[in-house]
Amino acid sequence: MERADVLVVGAGLAGLSASVFLALGGVDVLTVERHPGTSLHPRASGQTPRTMELYRFAGIDRKVLGVSERASQGLRITVAASLSGPVFHRIVEDLGEVDLSAATAAPWGMAGQDVVEPILLERAREAGADVRFSTELVSFTQDDDGVTAVLRSRTGSETTVRASYLVAADGGRSRIREALGIGTSGLGAIAQSIGVVFDADLGDRLLPGVTDLFYLQHAEFTGALVNTDVPGRYVCAVDIGPGETADDFPEERLVHLIRGATDLPDLEPKIQWTGAWEMAARVADRFAAGRVFLVGDAAKVTPPTGGMGGNTAVGDGHDIAWKLTAVLRGDAGPGLLDSYEAERRPIAEMVVSTSLHNAKERMMPDLDLTGVAPPVDQLALTLGFRYRSGAVLTEDDDLLENPVEPSGRPGFRAPHVPTATGSTWDFLGHGWVVFGTGGWRDAVAEVRAETGIALEYRECGADFDDPDGVFRARFGLGDGGASLVRPDGIVAWRCPGGAADPAATLWDVLARVLSR
């Protein structure tokens, strides 16, 4: 019988992200994927600044930005009849014009899933993760002490693995979720589509050097077309009509549709891949059951309109990874794991509802959204979200804030404050950090020595400069104040002024947020 601290099932964005951060934390992680390799389809393209912050924690942000010519360039989103036909609405003209310098030092990324997954895979293996392809989960059971799983390789050989925890990253039709008896809620399937990856010379139909996404409301079909990280390669998705199946779309029909979408009647596209997929909106009723945790599409399935599905998957993977790491190290009690669902499920719900409203605006005007929550501003959802759980000591009930006017309140991302050498975020991502204005250095050293928790202190004016004089305002700190920031960059607690006994105060706070 093999043993691992954590078994991850699925090597997509969520599973590989979890594997990277678990391995970087020193966790013995085994990851299995039933497919023979990483995704060949661009699928979830684009990285929000929040995702780029997480990729920076992993040390792969520069690789993701440099993986293609368009990866760090702009974004244009257009609703039109075809690539050169009437334009009905331009949703984004140039994403680079959105100034987020007050919110984050991280850029947007535009790389596709097909080029990002190999980067994640390489980093996971470098950090010590055992990642096996062509290997599927046959069955699993769990008890109070762990999970026992049977794995089968493509050759038919079976292996039994005993792990402390199981991370289910096995997609929207998650067999693990079904085995746990966890249902889903939401609109369910809202459309069926046929996707095509093709190579062609489209001339000047799309802008060079940027991600150019068209939502198409053509006289013959509804769909979308976008360029990829491979020069001359594109993805076109077309809705399947009532009563139709993928079999009704032979290659000659697909070529006809591509010609209509591109307004190039003589185009001879070279089709590289085709596949049917379901556009759906579902959120799992629970994100955890015992020692099993759902991440990525296993936890929620969202329409692609808005590009939030893949980014949410990366966030899920990082969140469960740092929490499992803390528990396995002995830094935290098992109660910390309860915060995974408490924090990530509200994000999933907002992502799904906002994506549905985007789908109605961009592609499906007749979509009935009765009972669906209103959309959330996507910049606020990306950088101004708030976690509410036992792992943060919140001061009020706000759920979102304007990310360019950060407040430093617990539950929100730690403010980005430019320093003489970079940003306050340069100190984050590798443990717990106390930012302060004085009086907490000895307390942090004492607590670190007695607990063994990776806890660092950074004092404004001593450990970093504040050339713009905005640190105190953004963090909400006065003289002798302190802010405790989690390994994911979220403020867990703050003390606006001094404390009578800083060490005792910090002890109490850590005991509460870590369920010690």
Residues linked to residue 159 through DSSP beta bridges, in sequence order: 151
Helical (H) or strand (E) element with 289: strand 288-289
The answer to whether the beta carbons of residues 432 and 484 sit under 8 Å apart is yes
Note if 457 is an active site residue.
Answer: no
Give the separation between CA 165 and CA 290, rounded to whole angstroms.
Answer: 9
Do domains 2-68+108-185+281-378 and 186-279 share one topology? The answer is no
- For the chain, the structural domain boundaries read 2-68+108-185+281-378, 186-279, 384-513
Helical (H) or strand (E) element with 18: helix 13-24
In 10 A of CB 491, how many CB atoms? 27
Residues linked to residue 216 through DSSP beta bridges, in sequence order: 80, 223
Hey, CA dihedral for 194, 200, 206, 212, is it positive or negative?
Answer: positive
Instruction: Specify the pLDDT at position 96.
Output: 58
Give the separation between CA 274 and CA 194, rounded to whole angstroms.
Answer: 7
Q: Tokens 């440099």 label which residue?
A: 66
Helical (H) or strand (E) element with 432: strand 432-436
Instruction: Specify the pLDDT at position 69.
Output: 66
Give the separation between CA 411 and CA 396, rounded to whole angstroms.
Answer: 10
- For the domain made up of 384-513, the CATH class stated in words is alpha beta
**pLDDT (tens digit, 9 = 90+) per residue, 240-258?**
988 888 889 999 999 999 9
The answer to whether the beta carbons of residues 12 and 296 sit under 8 Å apart is yes
Q: Tokens 């991850």 label which residue?
A: 8
Q: How is residue 385 written in tokens?
A: 């979200």
Q: Which residues lie below 8 Å from residue 129, measured CB to CB, with a gap of 6+?
A: 19, 20, 22, 23, 29, 30, 31
The answer to whether the beta carbons of residues 226 and 211 sit under 8 Å apart is yes
Radius of gyration of the chain measured on its C-alpha atoms:
24
Give the separation between CA 408 and CA 385, rounded to whole angstroms.
Answer: 12
Q: What is the pTM (predicted TM-score) of this model?
A: 0.93
Q: Tokens 């391995």 label which residue?
A: 23
**Helix (H/G/I), strand (E/B), else coil: 285:** coil
**Helix (H/G/I), strand (E/B), else coil: 67:** coil
Where does 222-377 have alpha helices with state H?
Answer: 251-262, 309-329, 338-362
The answer to whether the beta carbons of residues 511 and 449 sit under 8 Å apart is no
Catalytic residue among 215, 234, 387, 457: 215
The answer to whether the beta carbons of residues 456 and 426 sit under 8 Å apart is no
pLDDT along the chain (516 residues), means of 10: 97 98 98 93 85 98 83 77 91 69 90 93 98 98 98 95 98 97 94 92 88 91 89 91 87 95 96 89 98 98 90 98 98 98 98 94 89 93 96 92 96 96 96 97 96 96 93 96 98 94 96 96
The answer to whether the beta carbons of residues 293 and 322 sit under 8 Å apart is no
Amino acid, single-letter form, for residue 253: R
Q: Residue 212: which of 359, 98, 74, 107 has the closest Cα? A: 74
**Helix (H/G/I), strand (E/B), else coil: 22:** helix
Does domain 186-279 bear CATH number 3.40.1160.10?
no
In 10 A of CB 100, how many CB atoms? 18
Greatest distance between any 2 Cα atoms in the chain: 78
Instruction: Answer left, alpha or beta for residue 298, where phi above 0 means left and psi between -120 and 50 means alpha.
Output: alpha
Fold of 2-68+108-185+281-378: FAD/NAD(P)-binding domain (3.50.50)
* Cα dist from 179 to 135, 296, 297, 398, whole Å: 18, 17, 16, 36
* Cα dist from 346 to 155, 186, 391, whole Å: 41, 13, 15
The answer to whether the beta carbons of residues 384 and 400 sit under 8 Å apart is yes
